[in-house]
Amino acid sequence: MPKKAGPVVGVGVAVIKGGSVLIIRRAHPPRAGSWSLPGGKQHLGETVLEAAARELAEETGLTEVDWLGLADVVDLMDRDEAGALRFHYTVMDFAARWRCGEPLAGDDAAEVTWAGPEDYDRYDLTPLVRQVIAKSLRLAVGSL
């Protein structure tokens, strides 16, 4: 009997600096060209926090943040015109506070920037990304 494929585990990181969050413009599919949080797939043998730290470093160059905890778990599913599932990621999003360093686009990121709430529409951030950012900001304020 063939084995059924399940969701892919992914990680995301909402790095908070004051009232802003670090976002990246994706360089590759899925969602190439769109703005989102840094993140990607968890590798076999690494914890989700190790995956989050690796993805953050690969995509932004940031290696020193204060980890605040798990902000949210979201499912990202994409279907074609006929309704067939193209991909399904279950993403564990972590909140972190910026400590030092200037982010630079690397790996799967075409650009990086700090964005405040007044910028979310301009960067066309999805409702799920905005939800994760809001939860991360609450964690950041609660940890002061």
Q: What is the pLDDT of residues 110-122, one digit of tens each?
A: 999 999 999 999 9
Q: What is the pLDDT of residues 60-97, one digit of tens each?
A: 999 999 999 999 999 989 899 999 998 899 999 999 99
> What residues act catalytically?
111
Burial of residue 121 (CB within 10 Å: 0-12, 13-18, 19+) is exposed
Sign of the alpha-carbon torsion through 92, 98, 99, 104: positive
Outline where the chain has alpha helix (H): 48-60, 127-142
For the chain, the structural domain boundaries read 8-142
Q: What is the pTM of this model?
A: 0.91
Rounded CA separation 142/63 (Å): 23
Q: Could you report how far apart the first and last alpha carbons of the chain are, in Å?
A: 53
Outline where 5-91 has alpha helix (H): 48-60
Architecture of domain 8-142: Alpha-Beta Complex (3.90)
Q: pLDDT at position 1, please? A: 44
